[in-house]
Chain A
Amino acid sequence: MAIKIMIVDDSPFSRTLIAETLTDGGYEVVGEADSLEMALETYTKVKPDIVTMDIAMPDADGFEISRALLRQDAKAKIILSSSMKDDETELEAKRIGICGYVQKPVEADTLFAIIHKVLSPDTLFQELLARGLDTFKEALSQNITRMAKTNVTFLENTEIEDPYLSKGITAVLGVIGQYSGTMVLDVSFPVAEKIAETILYRPAKNPEEVLAMVSELANIIGGIACSMLNKKEKALGLRVSPPSLFHGNSAELVSPSVKIQKALAETEYGEIFLGIGFKKGSTLWM
């Protein structure tokens, strides 16, 4: 069965040109739209495999229409077509969740190649998902053992409740790169206090010192895990943001846009929760 494509462009000339190119290439053009409303309506009706999207349009632009389409169907696969080609346009496309980008005038072979890639399984992402949690567990285990002088064993994922109820101190780190993600480290205050005491060779002077230790520990674990992943696959280019720390918590934690893989580390001081999730959504750029 032919791959179904919908074209969003305000110029009838451009739409005709893209439609003819696609039809000649064996694709089925199932719908065309020139505005936000029409794009949403047509998308629901024709359920395309791919949407090609112009950026510059008179009312809502391609980014706004893409946002609206992705709100309606988070799995929508959108390829932008525009004469503009710069880093910021690429980043904006990525932040919105657009799958690919082709420069106008659109060359048939380039367009076919990007459609093929967008519809192919994202092996880099699948590898990251397969390896991600284990790498973060390894980074946690190594650093807790080295800094807090205790062995670490992990409990299986299934025993952890969802949504996760904080034990007291939660560090949340953002991960940016080819794919973006989130790392969560959660620990009770008494456990953090004992770890701080071992690292400092004395009891913590105040709660702030304990919090600073958790923040630093999360930063080190996140940074080392991302370096390990980058070393295996350069294209990932993962970097971490400094952590936000939530404490004195009676709070639940959820991450609605990514599936968080969870692990519970057992140490002689008590349990440490580790959560890691990555979001699909790199933009292919041709």
Chain B
Amino acid sequence: MDVTLINPFLAAFTEILPQIGFQQVEKDKVSLVGSTFSYNGVLLNIAMVGSIKGVVLIGMSSAEAKRFASKMMMGMPVNEFDKIAQSAISEMGNMVCANACTQFSKLEINGLDISPPTLMMGQGQVTLPVPQAIVIDFNCDDIAIKVYVGLS
């Protein structure tokens, strides 16, 4: 497992989430997954291109996504995962991945840029353009988030 690919995301989550209303951001575990895996809920896809390239996915269950969006909107109730909630989650992904690019540049991995986020809502399988992805499980104020780092 390439630790170089993990630390920028740990740093990005720890730096960005407190700025959008979260108190506690903890890494639960780090594991590996093959290129194809299942998802159920909300999965945000952001491509990253530069001296390394691939994709970063941020996933959570539909219920967790509503809680996450509500937190970002200062506790406003989110009963439906509507346009505002979708926009909140994608904005979080955008901010975290943009910050991760900055963290990579501190490791001399330069010139990274990101695509706008695409959000899949439902269930199915995903196949990433890399043989293996690193999965980082985060616990953000008791909301479970999975970050799949498929970069090479």
A residues near B (Cβ < 8 Å) are 64, 67-68, 71, 87-88, 91-92, 94-96, 163, 166, 170, 172-176, 180-182, 184, 211, 215, 239-258, 277, 279
A250: nearest chain-B partner, CB-CB: B122
What are the residues of chain B within 8 A of A94 when measuring CB–CB?
113
Contact between A170 and B115, CB atoms less than 8 A apart: no
What are the residues of chain A within 8 A of B122 when measuring CB–CB?
166, 249-252
Binds A, one of B3-11, B25-33, B84-92, B134-142: B84-92
What are the residues of chain B within 8 A of A251 when measuring CB–CB?
120-124
What are the residues of chain B within 8 A of A242 when measuring CB–CB?
53-55, 129
What are the residues of chain B within 8 A of A254 when measuring CB–CB?
86, 118-119, 121
If the complex has contacts A87-B110, A95-B98, A241-B55, are A258 and B121 also in contact, measured as CB distance less than 8 A?
Answer: no
CA distance A222 to B45 in the complex (A): 17
* Residue B132 interfacial (CB < 8 Å): no
A94 to chain B minimum Cβ distance, whole angstroms, is 7
Task: Show 15 residue pairs from A and B whose CB-CB distance is below 8 angstroms, ordered by the A residue.
Answer: A92-B101, A95-B98, A172-B118, A174-B46, A176-B49, A184-B118, A211-B127, A241-B48, A241-B55, A242-B53, A249-B124, A255-B119, A256-B90, A257-B87, A257-B116
Contact of A182 among B116, B125, B126, B127 (CB under 8 A): B116
What are the residues of chain B within 8 A of A87 when measuring CB–CB?
110-111
Contact between B120 and A252, CB atoms less than 8 A apart: yes
Contact between B119 and A174, CB atoms less than 8 A apart: no
13 other A-B residue contacts (CB within 8 Å) besides A92-B98, A257-B94: A71-B20, A87-B110, A88-B110, A91-B111, A92-B101, A95-B102, A181-B116, A215-B129, A244-B128, A250-B123, A251-B123, A254-B118, A257-B90
* Residue B17 interfacial (CB < 8 Å): no
A87 to chain B minimum Cβ distance, whole angstroms, is 7
What are the residues of chain A within 8 A of B127 when measuring CB–CB?
211, 215, 244-245, 247
CA distance A55 to B20 in the complex (A): 20
* Residue B95 interfacial (CB < 8 Å): yes
B127: nearest chain-A partner, CB-CB: A245
* Residue B19 interfacial (CB < 8 Å): yes
CA distance A16 to B46 in the complex (A): 41
* Residue B47 interfacial (CB < 8 Å): yes
Contact of A246 among B90, B94, B105, B120 (CB under 8 A): B120
B95: nearest chain-A partner, CB-CB: A67
* Residue B149 interfacial (CB < 8 Å): no
Contact between A256 and B129, CB atoms less than 8 A apart: no
Contact of A95 among B45, B87, B113 (CB under 8 A): B113
Contact between B116 and A277, CB atoms less than 8 A apart: yes
B85 to chain A minimum Cβ distance, whole angstroms, is 9
What are the residues of chain B within 8 A of A180 when measuring CB–CB?
113-116
Contact between B19 and A241, CB atoms less than 8 A apart: no
A197 to chain B minimum Cβ distance, whole angstroms, is 20
Contact of B54 among A92, A241, A256, A258 (CB under 8 A): A241
Contact of B19 among A68, A248, A257 (CB under 8 A): A68
A95: nearest chain-B partner, CB-CB: B98
A249 to chain B minimum Cβ distance, whole angstroms, is 4
Which parts of B37-73 form the interface with A (CB within 8 Å)? 43, 45-50, 53-55, 57
What are the residues of chain B within 8 A of A181 when measuring CB–CB?
115-116
Contact between B123 and A257, CB atoms less than 8 A apart: no
Contact of B125 among A67, A68, A174, A248 (CB under 8 A): A248
CA distance A253 to B19 in the complex (A): 27
Contact between B116 and A255, CB atoms less than 8 A apart: yes
What are the residues of chain A within 8 A of B53 when measuring CB–CB?
241-242
A262 to chain B minimum Cβ distance, whole angstroms, is 13
Contact between A245 and B19, CB atoms less than 8 A apart: no
CA distance A249 to B121 in the complex (A): 10
A211: nearest chain-B partner, CB-CB: B127
Contact between B125 and A246, CB atoms less than 8 A apart: yes
Which among B54, B105, B116 has the greatest number of chain A C-beta atoms within 10 A? B116
Contact between A244 and B91, CB atoms less than 8 A apart: no
B124: nearest chain-A partner, CB-CB: A249
